[in-house]
């Protein structure tokens, strides 16, 4: 159409674009105004629900799961999926931890009480389903729960203590082998034969059987007996030095072997020195250390607290227990009577010692542990006695020390000694 005279613009007619779809019906291309616009199918029969539900991210009530959902089910297209990097994947140990006896059944009882008091609360929570962030919220609430309850669940748990090492590990030391407790627990030597005696030294006093009749009503006070006790390490033993030339290739004392065999139960720090001379190994203890002290309630649920100079500190109790054992092992003997003597005397007696040496004998024994390992150990006896048929029986005497009963479980041994087995 042409413009009319006088400058007036005449409207133009522009034909719209018609999309031809020869293979079907409907438009072939997406209109520009509808590009990048999300679309979700809907039904006019859908119910109107909540505009925003912040609790739905953590918990979802199954009772209303399908009430406000669309009949066409298009809501999953906006769901967020978090893809984690597989390089950060770690295996998690799901082994069930064995609870100590004092914890068994405690939490289960609390759950029964909650169900009884909560009533409808317990049945309502059973319908809740944990979703994405619900796990984090649940863990956060569980961590706060003991604080709100006055730490009821943790009041009976033993405190975790970090103890000082018995020896300072220097940075220039080279690690040869590391052995953890689980590996040591699985070790066993079922095919070890009975040991044989190589040499016996020392002299022993006879045990006084009248102490078998001591009880709570017929007690005897502990006496102080000043005698000399030798705690000689392996390499300082002249008998082991002599035997190392002809017998065995591994040498130790009974105290060192007992410490190694019970190491998986130990809680206090200790260390031993291993010297390799040629193809022979010598297990030694350090001088002037607490290795020779006897611990008290070391593996108890409520061990002694380390309060420095307190009478009930672990070190003071160990000193007391060692003192009691030394005196008790000599008090129950028939002093003043002739001793039973082995062919060889005590190898540790020197002319410079002015006091009386304790009743002790040393038995050097040999065990064949297979694989070319032959163990030589020095064992000790405290006394000797006559058996029912008149045969000689060698005795080792030990005393179990009781400390403050108010701090060690509240049970006095005096009330249980005559009526309950140890």
Residues in the chain: 422
Q: Answer yes or no: are the C-beta atoms of 239 and 362 closer than 8 Å.
A: yes
pLDDT at 155 over 70: no
> Within a domain: residue 84?
no
pLDDT at 348 over 60: yes
Q: Answer yes or no: are the C-beta atoms of 226 and 258 closer than 8 Å.
A: no
What pLDDT is stored for residue 167 in this prediction?
A: 85
pLDDT at 175 over 70: yes
> Within a domain: residue 188?
no
Q: Which residues contact 280 (CB under 8 A, 6 or more apart)?
A: 244, 248, 249, 250, 251
What pLDDT is stored for residue 89 in this prediction?
A: 55
pLDDT at 362 over 80: yes
> Within a domain: residue 64?
no
Q: Which residues contact 4 (CB under 8 A, 6 or more apart)?
A: 10
What pLDDT is stored for residue 119 in this prediction?
A: 47
Number of compact structural domains in the chain: 1
pLDDT at 147 over 80: no
pLDDT at 128 over 50: no
- pLDDT category at 121 given cuts 50, 70, 90 is very low
Q: Answer yes or no: are the C-beta atoms of 394 and 204 closer than 8 Å.
A: yes
Q: Pick from 21-25, 120-124, 136-140, 234-238 the range whose average pLDDT is largest.
A: 234-238
What pLDDT is stored for residue 123 in this prediction?
A: 45
What pLDDT is stored for residue 134 in this prediction?
A: 60
> Within a domain: residue 133?
no
**Per-residue pLDDT reduced to its tens digit, 54-94:** 665 555 555 555 665 555 555 555 555 555 555 555 555 55
Q: Answer yes or no: are the C-beta atoms of 206 and 395 closer than 8 Å.
A: no
Query: Among 106-120, 128-142, 339-353, which is the least confidently predicted range?
Result: 106-120
Average pLDDT over residues 351-357: 83
Instruction: Say how far apart CA 394 and CA 261 lie, in whole Å.
Output: 23
What pLDDT is stored for residue 117 in this prediction?
A: 46
Beta carbons within 10 angstroms of residue 393's beta carbon: 12
What does the DSSP assignment read for 100-128? PTTTTTHHHHHHHHHHHHHTHHHHHHTTE
- pLDDT category at 19 given cuts 50, 70, 90 is confident
**pLDDT above 90: percentage of residues in the chain:** 33
**Per-residue pLDDT reduced to its tens digit, 212-237:** 998 888 889 999 999 999 999 999 99
> Within a domain: residue 56?
no
Instruction: Say how far apart CA 324 and CA 221 lie, in whole Å.
Output: 11
> Within a domain: residue 98?
no
> Within a domain: residue 159?
no
Q: Is 0.85 surpassed by the pTM of this model? A: no
Domain that holds residue 300: 196-415
> Within a domain: residue 398?
yes
What pLDDT is stored for residue 408 in this prediction?
A: 74
């Amino acid at each position: 159409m042409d413009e009319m005279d006088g400058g007036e613009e005449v409207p133009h007619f522009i034909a719209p674009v018609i999309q031809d779809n020869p293979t079907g019906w409907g438009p072939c291309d997406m209109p520009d105004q509808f590009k990048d616009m999300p679309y979700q199918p809907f039904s006019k029969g859908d119910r109107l629900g909540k505009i925003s539900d912040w609790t739905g991210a953590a918990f979802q009530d199954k009772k209303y799961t399908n009430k406000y959902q669309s009949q066409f089910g298009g809501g999953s297209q906006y769901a967020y999926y978090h893809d984690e990097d597989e390089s950060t994947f770690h295996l998690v140990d799901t082994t069930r931890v064995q609870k100590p006896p004092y914890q068994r059944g405690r939490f289960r009882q609390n759950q029964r009480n909650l169900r009884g008091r909560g009533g409808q609360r317990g049945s309502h929570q059973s319908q809740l389903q944990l979703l994405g962030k619900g796990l984090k919220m649940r863990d956060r609430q569980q961590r706060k729960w003991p604080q709100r309850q006055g730490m009821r669940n943790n009041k009976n748990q033993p405190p975790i203590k970090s103890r000082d090492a018995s020896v300072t590990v220097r940075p220039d030391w080279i690690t040869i082998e590391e052995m953890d407790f689980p590996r040591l627990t699985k070790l066993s030597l079922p095919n070890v034969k009975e040991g044989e005696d190589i040499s016996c030294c020392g002299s022993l006093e006879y045990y006084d059987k009248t102490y078998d009749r001591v009880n709570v009503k017929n007690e005897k006070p502990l006496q102080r007996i000043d005698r000399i006790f030798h705690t000689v390490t392996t390499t300082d033993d002249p008998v082991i030095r002599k035997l190392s030339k002809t017998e065995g290739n591994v040498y130790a004392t009974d105290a060192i072997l007992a410490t190694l065999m019970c190491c998986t139960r130990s809680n206090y720090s200790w260390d031993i020195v291993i010297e390799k001379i040629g193809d022979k190994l010598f297990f030694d203890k350090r001088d002037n250390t607490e290795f020779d002290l006897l611990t008290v309630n070391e593996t108890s649920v409520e061990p002694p607290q380390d309060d420095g100079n307190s009478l009930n500190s672990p070190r003071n109790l160990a000193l007391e227990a060692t003192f009691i054992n030394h005196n008790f092992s000599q008090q129950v003997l028939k002093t003043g009577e002739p001793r039973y003597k082995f062919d060889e005397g005590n190898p540790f007696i020197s002319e410079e010692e002015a006091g009386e040496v304790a009743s002790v004998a040393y038995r050097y024994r040999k065990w064949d542990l297979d694989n070319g390992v032959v163990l030589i150990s020095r064992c000790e006896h405290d006394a000797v006695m006559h058996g029912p048929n008149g045969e000689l029986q060698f005795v080792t005497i030990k005393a179990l020390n009781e400390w403050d009963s108010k701090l060690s479980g509240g049970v006095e041994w005096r009330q249980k000694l005559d009526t309950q087995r140890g």
